[in-house]
Each structure stands twice: as C-alpha cells, then as structure tokens.
Amino acid sequence: MSDGEPGVADGGEPGVADGNEPGLYPEMDVDEPPPAPGHEGAPDDEEMPLADHIEEMVRRLGVVVLVMAVIAGIAFPFGDRIINFLWYNVLPGGDVARPHVYHPLALMLARLKVSTLAGFIVALPVFVYETYLFMRPGLYPRERKYYLAAVPTSVVLAAVGVAFAFYLVLPAIFVYFLYYSQGAANIAFGLTETFDLIVLMLGTFAFIFQIPLFIMLAIMMGVTTRRWLETRRLYFWGGFLTLAFLFSPDPTGMAPIIVAATMITLFEGTLLLLRWTGAGGRGQGLTLESFEAARPAVWVLGAGAGYVASAAPMPRYYDQLPAVLTDALAGSGLLSVPLVIGGGAIALYEGLNYLLARMQASVRVRRAVASARLPVWLLAVVVGYLGSPNPTLVTRLDVAALSPALSAAVAVAIVGVYEVGMAVGRWRQSGRVR
C-alpha cells in the first residue's frame, strides 16, 4: 500500500488494504483453507514422462472412437427405419413432411449420420469411463467412487437429452419453420439439410445434458467450488450463447436460442440444487437474506411480466437500422444484428470495468458498476434479440393482450407471492430465535 493511501485500520474504505480489494466483489471473497501439512498425492500417483501420458490418452481416445464405430456399424443396416421413425415423428404430418432428395447420395449419407449419432450417444459413457481410467492413478478412493458413479449417470442424462430434443425441441423448431415461411414460399424439406439439423440437435442435447454431471464431478473432486462458478456465471452464459449461435445450422435463430437457454438452465439449475443442499461451497445454503437480496429483480420481473401480458406493443427496431449495416451483417455469415448489438453492449460494459480498474477509481464506484453486471448482461441479450429481423418470441408475445386490470394483476401476483413468502420466512425465523 502506497504512502498516504488509507486502509481499514486508518479509517479508509474497506477492502483496499494490501492491494487485494476484497470488498470490490464481496460475493467472491471465499476463504480458502490452507494446504494441509505433509500433504501427499493420491495413493497410486506416480511420475510419468509426458510422452507416456500422451500415448495413454491417445490409446483411450482410440477406444472411444472404436466403440463409436462399432455401434455405428451395427446401427447402419437399420438406418432406413431409424430415419423414417425420426422424420415422421418430428416433422408435421401430411405431404409437407415428405422428404425431398436433391443428391444421389443423400439417403446413404443420412444413414451414415444416424448410425454415427447412435455411436456417439453410446460412446458418451465410454468416454467418461476412459477418462476415469486415465485419471485413476491421481485420484483418491473417494474421487474414484464419484467418477465411477458418473458412468451410468451419463447414460441417463444422454437419454434424457435425446428425449428432450425429440419430443419438445425439434417439433417446436419445425412448427416455427412452417410459421416463419408460410405465405412467403412453397415449403419443402430436403432430406440432407433437414436431417443434418435433426441429427445435430439430438447429438447436441445428448451432450449438453452432461453439464450437470461435469459440474458435480468438478466440485466433488475439488477442482472448483459452487461459489467460484456462481461468481463467474455470466462468463459461462456468454460462452453458452457464443457456442449456440456459432455452431447452429438454423438461419432463423430459433434453434440456437433454445440450445443456449437449455444450457443456461441446466447450469443454473445445478448451482441452485447445490446451493439448496448447501453442497459444493463453503457457504450455507439458501437463506432468507439471499432471497431478500433478490427483491429488485423480482419487482422488475413482475413489471416486465405485466407489460408482456398487456396489449402494449412489444418493441423492435430492425427496420429502423441502416440498410448498409444489415446487408453487411447478413453477408458476413457469422455475425447478426442481435450478436453485434448484444455483444457490443456487453463489451462496452466490461471495457468500462477494465478502465475503472486501470485508472484506480474509487472502490465504491467500481463496486457499484460491478454489481450491475447481471442486469446489464441480461438487458444486452434482450435488446440484442429485439434487433432480430423477425423476433418470433416477440411476435408470439404480441398475441397476449390482456386488459390493463388483468395485466396489473399479473404483476401484483408475482410480487405478492414473493412478498408473502418473505413474510412467512421472517415470521418462522423470528419464532426460532425466541
């Protein structure tokens, strides 16, 4: 600490002493226990040359690829049946759903894709098990037990992910396609492009439903903590959104929105479960104080829900943007108005945080700006989405046109449930204190 800079002992601002500034992000102030004296590695841990590690890793990945290839070979003769089952259960019925073949090898490639999908789903738990065998010498017995329990869990989560995509996501996407295209073109589903989307969505959801498993394993094995994940949740959200929009073949934006929302929901649901049980961190579980801290967000949510349910028009601004900007973004292939505007707003906010830190601004100012991170990110995502050329969610929400009284009742009901719950919680807490 430089001369003349007051710390806590000198009556200055808290959290500035020693240059650590723990008060800037109070939710990140986790007391890490000191390493145990005489700490030793796992019982079977031993030093190995890097080349041996790489050789073993390649060998175990080869086992995963081999299992995937064997399952794909077994499923290939049944490819036509699987294609028909998936096609006519996912797409809407009638002549519209009949596949159109525009390439002589389209059917053969579709059979290869569906058999590869079967191999990928079966290989997921094999991948988890081979990872366990690779890491086993460095694991303690308790950690080995967690990892072995993850193998059947991976199978269950993959099955749930495939079922979620099959019964909910894919039908919703194709119904949206029909709604999006009706009146503008004659609808025909090409076998190659349509089946690419079906296979990709099924495989993607089989994988992203492993997120709770990966989080649980990382926490149980001491790689991270729930508190660490919570304090960096927005970075995970940004990563989920980026992956969803960069690797989705859906040009309308519906599929990446569903994928990103599912990933964020799984991530937050896992953290909420850990927080509720008090596991995965050194803090306590959900408390009355943590619910009270959410009061501004609940009131904003109530007001937003009332506005959405009302007859008031939902804002959109794509048509007001300069044609030079929209044409340039449309020609880029990767960038879009929602990504540029939402990402730009987030980048400006994070740049402001960085500049305040570099300029050594007041801790109170930096803490106030940093505390707005969650609402700023959420607002940036919403504002970015409203810049879509055809924001389907906005169009659907315009259908809800309740009277002003009923819209106000929706807002009051949301806030009222929260406030009644808080009152009951305070009453029960005061009873326990007595």
Question: d(Cα 23, Cα 367) in Å, to the nearest integer?
Answer: 8
Q: Pick from 257, 294, 69, 58: which is nearest to 169 by CA?
A: 257
- What pLDDT score was predicted for residue 180? 62
- What pLDDT score was predicted for residue 186? 65
Question: d(Cα 293, Cα 374) in Å, to the nearest integer?
Answer: 13
Q: What is the DSSP string of 101-166?
A: --STTHHHHHHHHHHHHHHHHHHHHHHHHHHHHHHGGGS-HHHHHHHHHHHHHHHHHHHHHHHHII
Tens of pLDDT, residues 223-266: 788 888 888 888 888 888 888 877 666 666 677 888 888 888 88
Whether 356 contacts 365, CB under 8 Å:
yes
- What pLDDT score was predicted for residue 317? 79
Q: Residues in the chain with pLDDT < 50?
A: 1-39, 282-285
Tokens of 245: 């929009």
Query: What length is written for the chain?
Result: 434
- What pLDDT score was predicted for residue 3? 45
Q: What is the DSSP string of 278-298?
A: T-SSSS-SS-HHHHHTTHHHH
Tens of pLDDT, residues 268-309: 888 877 776 665 554 444 566 767 777 777 888 888 888 877
Tens of pLDDT, residues 310-332: 877 777 777 788 888 777 776 66
pTM for this one? 0.56
